[in-house]
Every structure is written in C-alpha cells, then in structure tokens.
Amino acid sequence: MKAVMLRDMRTRFFDHGLGFLIVIFFPLGHMMILLLIYSVLGRSAPYGDSLMLFFGTGLVPTLAFMYVSRMMVVSIQANRPMLSFPAIRVTDIIFGRAVLEVFGSCLMAVLVVLIFALMGQPALPIDVPNAVAALAATLVLAIGVGFLMSLAAAIVPAVAMAYMLATILVYILSGTLFVASSLPAPVIEVLAWNPVLHGVEWLRSAYYLDYPTQVLDKGYLIACGAITLLLGLLVERYSRTLVY
C-alpha cells in the first residue's frame, strides 16, 4: 500500500509529494469564496450569530465526504497499470487513496479551526469528542461509498462521471446552507434519507448547545458507513475477474 500511496502522491500532486499540501487548500478555497459571497450580500446566519461558524460546520463534513469519495471513485482507473504487479491488489489501490484523502480532510478540518481562531470565531467545539465522532462517521461513510463506486467505475467507467454529478446533489441537500429542522415535515422526511445530512447536523450539535437535533440520527449515519464498507468488501471479493 505504501508504494501505491507514493505513486499516487507523485502522479496526482504536481509530480512531487509536497504537492499534496496544496490540494487541501482546494476545499478551503471553496469555503472562503462561499462565505465571502454571503457576507457581501449581507445575509445573516440561518442559525447562531456567526455566518462563518454556521457555514464552516456545514461545509467541513460535506466537502470531506465529497472529496474523499470522489477521489476514491477514480482510484482504480488512475492506477490500473499497477495491477500488473502480482503484489498489488485492488484493495491496496483503493485504501491507499482513501488514506491520502482522509489525511487531507483531517488537515482541512484543522486549518478551518485555525482560521476560525485567527478571525476571532469560536474555534473549538463545545463538545470536542462529539465533533470528532461526527467527522469520523462521515469519513467512514465516504470511504464506504467511495469503495463501492470505485469498483463500479472500474467495471463501467461512466459510473465515475455519474457519481461526480450526483455529489452536486448531495452538496445541495446536506444542510450546508440551511437548518434542516426548520423545513416542512414532508421535506425533512425526504432529506433525512441522505446520511451526509446527519453528519452536518451531528457536527453542528457539537458547536451549538441548543442546536435543534430532531433530524439527527447518529445510528443511521454509522450504519450507512458500515454497510457500504461491508458491501464494498463483498463486491471486491466477487468481482475480481471483472476489475483486474
């Protein structure tokens, strides 16, 4: 797996391992641009007093899910030549990419906290263990979904593009820009099927003491992550002749 990770870093990150550090700023740039737009428009935060804190707590889990799963989806296609080596397995490629992306997402979260602190925002959550658990559960979901989709994309390449487009819908429906519990009940029932929404609600509940958590179902998010990861392992086991 180490060899796969080193190759991945060199081929993806500007032909140099240190280029990986630049990639973690892409999600941060996304976040800062969005916050700037809303600030210029003079809009108040949908919840709490800080626009930056509200959108930051929504964007971190959502973008972590999107970036980790998206990059995992194309992992086999990008590293297929390595499968010609007997010692390299599909799982080495997938999990090697997962480790890199999870590391990048964790660095992104740390940088967001530092930026909050520098700008005088509440940097640390009120409930730190709960915040860590929320991000961890979201990352497990990202790995599980990315695992499944990477196998599907290795068999049917068009799946990769379809998934990229689908994550745009996930972004819109994950509560990044709104408070889910403030919506009409029929809308909530539909949105609640999106596990990423629960990651956002979970993280926000760690920052806001009185944040409404009627929509939050931690068990559902954890179950989705575990099930997709297990399904990915099973599919990999029984689709090796199609993938290799």
Q: Is the pLDDT of residue 162 over 80?
A: yes
Each residue's pLDDT tens digit, 36-81: 887 788 778 888 888 888 988 999 999 999 999 999 998 888 777 7
Each residue's pLDDT tens digit, 89-105: 888 888 988 998 898 88
**How many C-beta neighbours within 10 Å does residue 2 have?**
9
Interacting residues of 101 by C-beta distance below 8 A, sequence separation 6+: 67, 68, 71, 72, 142, 146
Each residue's pLDDT tens digit, 164-215: 999 999 999 999 889 999 999 999 999 999 999 999 999 999 999 889 989 9
pLDDT value, residue 44: 80
Each residue's pLDDT tens digit, 106-126: 988 998 888 888 888 878 899
DSSP characters over the chain = -HHHHHHHHHHHTTTSTTHHHHHTHHHHHHHHHHHHHHHHTTPPPSSSS-HHHHHHHHHHHHHHHHHHHHHHHTHHHHHGGGGGSTT--HHHHHHHHHHHHHHHHHHHHHHHHHHHHHTTS--S-SSHHHHHHHHHHHHHHHHHHHHHHHHHHHHSTHHHHHHHHHHHHHHHHTTSSS-GGGS-HHHHHHHTT-HHHHHHHHHHHHH-TT---SS--HHHHHHHHHHHHHHHHHHHHH-HHHH-
Each residue's pLDDT tens digit, 3-46: 666 666 666 655 555 556 666 677 678 777 877 887 788 778 88
- Distance set, CA 193 to CA 40, 163, 167 (Å): 33, 17, 15
pLDDT value, residue 163: 96
- Torsion sign across C-alpha atoms 146, 148, 154, 155: negative
